[in-house]
Structure formats: structure tokens, C-alpha cells
Amino acid sequence: MPTGSFTPEERTILEGFQRDAVDFVDSPDFRRPGAERRIFANAPVIAKPDITWYQPLLDERSPSSTVGTTVRPPKSLVLTAAQERVIFAQFNYARFRVARTQRKAARTGMTTENAREMLHWNAVAEQTRKQIAETNLALVLAMAKRVRSADLDFGDLISEGNMALLRSVDKFDFGRGFKFSTYGCRAILKAYSRLGMKTQKYRQHFPVEFDPALERADHSGNLREARTKDDIQEVKNVFQSDRAGLSEIERTVIFHRYGLDRPVHSSQLTLEQVGLMLGVTKERVRQIQNKALEKIRLALVSMNPSMIHSLPAIIGSPN
């Protein structure tokens, strides 16, 4: 780690750069002289979307509510194919610069200059990624309407759709000439299909009705003093092997909230921080967290009935 002055958040990002390679969709234009000027300075400005309609949509959490009946998005900002090429080129070029500096730092060692450059281009990439995702939020709502089901609640559909949308932004090849909406809609529907299969499989293994009281459970009030290494490892094994049948959004929340499968000294995120990352409310993160914890608890009990009350004490209470 370089000796320059960095915030804790910046240090966490830099540690990630030293551990994991940054992916991007490559283009021959990235390596030509004057690429940065052409891609940014000479490119048309892409308008940012109005997403004021989206927060009220997330607050519709009643299982009996009908998808999209009380909140409708305004006329969507639809980008032309040329505009999509511009913004996706900017996004992937920023990641290309991070990856290039990352490889240089791996050869010569991480310097303060390298670190600052990676942080700058990472910020550009994240801001552009956010803009692309926000421009296409209506795709998530449209696909959620298509697959409305009594077995899948609206909040789960929106959460899973948001995750699929972000993955689509990361993987979309803008050089092939297709519109992003075609690619993104297929990815969102595929994510909904996986969610439906996981939900069905979970209910076959654990045929219990959802208890609303779990949403109000005070897990921190049930913490126990005694924790053993064997119990902790058992919970981690359930999480890593996916024996609890967690959906991807549930795994993401548990990963960041409780630090399972993470280095010992890694920081745990708050409900609000995870919500900002996933594009959902703090309350929605809490609901997903509680549902995932119940799945883990049931998986533990199925293997060892004596652990019926052990989960809160084993994994602790995040901030």
C-alpha cells in the first residue's frame, strides 16, 4: 500500500485492486493516440435520467400490492444507439485505465501516483455505471410485470432485477452494434428464472410459511456469549456451499453485512451502505437479511437440531 494520505474507503478500494483484476470490454480505440480526448472531451454530453419515481416504487413492499399499479415511471430517457456507444465506451475506457495501471503496479510496485490514478478512473467508471443503470431502471420494472407471481414478492423481483441490470452493464459489448435494452432484458428475465427455481427448491426442502414476525426479530437481543470455532465454521460452510439455497441478492447482503467468507479484518457495511450499493432502501436490505438468516438457520437445524438457537450467537450482530 502506498504511503500517501487515503481515506479508509479509498484504502479498501486499493486493497481490492491489489487482490482482484479489473474487467472491462476491450476496444482497439482505447490504445490509439488521443483516445481519452476522443472518448470524453470530444464526445456529446449524455443527459442524466430522472429517477425520482423509483424511490416510491421501492416503498411498495406489501405482498398483496400489484406490481406497478400505484407508481409508474415517467417517459423514459431512451438513448440512441450512438449515445449508448458513447457512454459504454466511456465506462469501459475508465476501467481499461484502471486495469492498465493495475498491471503496471503489479510489475513495479504500487506508488502514490498509481493509486491516485486508479482511484480517479475507478470513480469515473462507477459514476458512468450508475448513470447507465439509472437510465435503464424502467427495464427492471417492465420485466417484473412480465413475471409477476404469487411465489415471488415485488421487493425480491426489484432487488434481483437491479443486480442483473448492473451485471449486464458490466458485460455488455457495445462494439457489436446491438441495443443494450435487448441484452439487459434477457439478463433480467434469466435472473428472475433462477430466483423462481431457487425459491421453489427452498420451499420443497423447507415447507414452512413465512412468518412476518421474523421481519421484526431483534437478533442482537438474542446474542450469546459462548461462540466456538466449530460453530462459526459450520455457518461458513453452509454459506459457501449454498446449502441454504440463498438467492444472489441474499448472498450479497449476508456477505457485506456479516463478513462471511471475507478476511477477518474486513469492514462490515451498514444497512444503509448495502442499500446504496444495491439500489434499494435500508428497510428492504433488513428484510432480505432477515429472510436469508432464517434460511441459514433452517439449513443448520436440518443438519444439527441442537443448533436451533445458535445462529445469532455464532455470526454476531453487524453495525
Query: Do 84 and 146 share a domain, yes or no?
Result: yes
Tens of pLDDT, residue by residue over 21-63, are 999 999 999 999 999 999 999 999 999 988 887 777 666 544 4
Q: Which domain holds residue 190?
A: 8-202
Check residue 274 and give its pLDDT.
86
Query: Do 124 and 15 share a domain, yes or no?
Result: yes
Domain count, the chain: 2
Domain-located, residue 252: yes
- Report whether 37 contacts 27 (CB < 8 A): no
State the CB neighbour count (10 A cutoff) for residue 171: 11
Query: Do 187 and 61 share a domain, yes or no?
Result: yes
Domain-located, residue 157: yes
Residue after which a domain boundary falls, among 182, 202, 222? 202
Query: Do 46 and 188 share a domain, yes or no?
Result: yes
Give the pLDDT band (50/70/90) at residue 282.
confident
Q: Could you tell me how many residues make up the chain? A: 319
State the CB neighbour count (10 A cutoff) for residue 167: 15
Tens of pLDDT, residue by residue over 194-243, are 888 887 776 666 665 555 555 555 544 444 444 446 666 777 777 777 77
Question: Which CATH number goes with the domain that contains 236?
Answer: 1.10.10.10
Rounded-to-integer distance, Cα 31 and Cα 100, Å: 11
Rounded-to-integer distance, Cα 285 and Cα 283, Å: 5
Question: Which residues, 6 or more positions from 63, have their beta carbon under 8 angstroms from its beta carbon?
Answer: 153, 154
Domain-located, residue 207: no
Query: Do 270 and 298 share a domain, yes or no?
Result: yes
Between residues 149 and 112, the one the model is more confident about: 112
Query: Do 221 and 274 share a domain, yes or no?
Result: yes
Query: Do 193 and 218 share a domain, yes or no?
Result: no
Domain-located, residue 26: yes
Residue after which a domain boundary falls, among 133, 167, 202? 202
Question: Which CATH number goes with the domain that contains 174?
Answer: 1.20.120
Query: Do 152 and 83 share a domain, yes or no?
Result: yes
Domain-located, residue 42: yes
Per-residue pLDDT at 177 exceeds 90: no
Residue after which a domain boundary falls, among 136, 167, 202? 202
Check residue 224 and give its pLDDT.
44
Question: Which residues, 6 or more positions from 201, have their beta carbon under 8 angstroms from its beta carbon?
Answer: 245
Query: What cell numbers appear for 70 in the block?
Result: 400505484
Give the pLDDT band (50/70/90) at residue 114.
very high
Query: Do 223 and 124 share a domain, yes or no?
Result: no
Rounded-to-integer distance, Cα 158 and Cα 141, Å: 7
Query: Do 23 and 79 share a domain, yes or no?
Result: yes
Query: Do 238 and 265 share a domain, yes or no?
Result: yes
Query: Do 192 and 58 share a domain, yes or no?
Result: yes
Domain-located, residue 2: no
Query: What cell numbers appear for 162 in the block?
Result: 437491479
